[in-house]
Structure 1
Amino acid sequence: MKKSFENEYAEYGIDNGIVRFIYKQNIAIQLAGAMEIVSDRLKLQNGRAYPILCDIRGIIDINKDARRFLANEGSALTIAVAFISDNPLSQILTDLYMLANMPPIPTKVVSSELEGLQFLSDFIE
């Protein structure tokens, strides 16, 4: 990754026109954490919109307010999102997010990084 950032929740950076976002292992996210995550991502993006590859396999819990914030305010400067989810827990969390919050941008759940990059390739500017 060329430009990168890390906080207590995730590591993220911009590489080949895509923001790659990897949540750390065993992370629980509340509203304050979601706000910090979005704020840091927006600083990294410096006013430019990108597609996002988001590896959520490390998340063990995310509360309703955090999910809602990430679906709405978290969509700022986001062209499309691919969530990497290859285990039952991350799949349940992703299903909750997709059903309850209906993100306003193209969003797909994938099982691998390659599949996510293929989906996002149509959105790279």
Structure 2
Amino acid sequence: MNEELSSVDLRSARIELRPDGVLHIDIKLDQVFEIEDSIAIIEARTKLVNGKRTPIVYTCTEFVIPSKEVREFVASEKRSELVIADAFVVNSLPQKLVANLFIKINKPVRPTKVFSNFDEACEWAKTFIPML
């Protein structure tokens, strides 16, 4: 973990490494989430955790929807190098539908689950943190 930094603010998201080891990414956009946003987040989170693998919990505004390109990239092996598991907290029916379709169609290469409650998502994500 990067001792000097526990969070990063980007145009598209706030990224925080929680004390429990879960990385929380809060998407600040209120529109379509594009691949450029996803790449910027990956670069920032990689620096924040110093290349350590972590589970991630995503939250966002109720109106943001990832583009098709982002959904394909997030499901890929390349994006998953530092990700143990993904938990998505959804706020609306359209987000829930997109998230469930993402899991069924894109078939992410790591454990992925959709939640409506942030605390439940964090508890699930923590189960993937390796015991030291």
Secondary structure at 2:127's aligned position in 1? Answer: helix
- Tell me the residue number matched to 1:105: 110
Would the aligned equivalents of 1:56 and 1:90 in 2 still touch at CA under 8 Å?
no
The answer to which structure has the higher strand fraction is 1
The answer to which structure has the higher helix fraction is 1
Q: How many residues align?
A: 124
Q: 1:58 to 1:75 in 2, by over 3 A?
A: farther
- Tell me the residue number matched to 2:49: 45
Q: 1:25 to 1:31 in 2, by over 3 A?
A: closer
Q: What is the CA–CA distance in structure 1 between the aligned matches of 2:35 and 2:43, rounded to whole Å?
A: 12
Q: What is the CA–CA distance in structure 2 between the aligned matches of 1:62 and 1:122, rounded to whole Å?
A: 26
Bigger Cα displacement from structure 2, 15-24 vs 31-40? 31-40
Would the aligned equivalents of 1:13 and 1:21 in 2 still touch at CA under 8 Å?
yes
> Which whole-Å deviations, capped at 9, do the CAs of 1:46-90 have from their partners, x for residues lacking one?
110011111134452322111111221332211111110131121
> Which whole-Å deviations, capped at 9, do the CAs of 1:25-51 have from their partners, x for residues lacking one?
413222222222222221212110011
Deviation at 1:5, TM superposition (A): 0.6
Would the aligned equivalents of 1:35 and 1:69 in 2 still touch at CA under 8 Å?
no
Q: What is the CA–CA distance in structure 1 between the aligned matches of 2:109 and 2:61, rounded to whole Å?
A: 22
Greater Cα radius of gyration, structure 1 or 2: 2
- Tell me the residue number matched to 2:128: 123
Q: Is 1:6 matched with 2:9?
A: yes
Alignment of 1:1-125 (within 5 A): 3-15=6-18, 16-72=20-76, 73-125=78-130
- The one-letter code of the counterpart of 1:70 is V
Secondary structure at 2:72's aligned position in 1? Answer: helix
Q: What is the CA–CA distance in structure 2 between the aligned matches of 1:61 and 1:122, rounded to whole Å?
A: 27
Would the aligned equivalents of 1:23 and 1:58 in 2 still touch at CA under 8 Å?
no
Gaps of 5+ in 2: none
Q: 1:59 to 1:103 in 2, by over 3 A?
A: farther
Computed over aligned residues only, the root mean square deviation of the Cα atoms, in angstroms, reads 1.8
Identical aligned pairs, as a percentage?
27
Q: What TM-score results when the alignment is normalised by the length of structure 1?
A: 0.87
